[in-house]
Amino acid sequence: MTPLPAAFYRRPVLEVARDLVGCTVTHGEASGVIVETEAYHHSEPACHAYVGLTARTSTLFGPPGIAYVYRSYGIHALLNAVCEPEGVGAAVLIRALEPLEGIGLMRERRGVERLEELCSGPGKLTQALGIGVDLNATGLAGGPIAIGPRPAADSEPVVAAGTRIGITRAAELPWRFCAVGSRHVSRPWPPELRPALPARSGE
């Protein structure tokens, strides 16, 4: 797998967020296909870079194509891909994956068996892939975490856009992107996605 080059990320964050759906994330022996992303930009208050350049946000203002990994609520490490030219605070949150390789290892790390539960959330996927905050500011082209193009056998996914979740500021922006037809997307599903997914008994 040839990782995506830095030039892929040196574009508007909304374009990168949409185009990352269907790409792959690999760390060690585990990998998955991206089925959900969210875009964040320093111009809106939900982005950490909104406060400006600080010790915490310096990675967000760094060169495109590096990982911004931070701890959420002191518990979960969350993986983001830094975008746009250096000096612009923007990143794409990798929100959910469809497990691809190392599924047994993912189940061991997560302590769950159901495939759809392994990586259906930003904290779940970092736990499943063994990604921690020590990997903050590492390169996504040559570092321990690699983001590559979609598998050759996969067709280009249909992508639905909706509002971001789990935030209270700038929550009206439709900056969440999900692969239509995927059961690995985190809940709640965007309204555009729900009709595409057949309901299981009890849902």
CB 119 within 8 A of CB 68: no
3-state secondary structure of 13: helix
- pLDDT tens across 16-43, in order? 999 999 999 999 999 999 999 999 999 9
pLDDT, residue 156, reads: 83
- pLDDT tens across 168-203, in order? 999 999 999 999 989 999 987 666 555 444 444 343
Residue 66 has pLDDT above 80, yes or no: yes
Average pLDDT over residues 56-75: 92
3-state secondary structure of 128: helix
Domain boundaries, given as residue ranges, for the chain: 6-196
Please, which residues bridge with residue 160 across strands?
Answer: 178
Q: What is the CATH number of domain 6-196?
A: 3.10.300.10
- pLDDT tens across 9-23, in order? 999 999 999 999 999
- pLDDT tens across 98-142, in order? 999 999 999 999 999 999 999 999 999 999 999 999 999 999 998
CA torsion, ordered 67, 184, 181, 24, to nearest 10 deg: 30
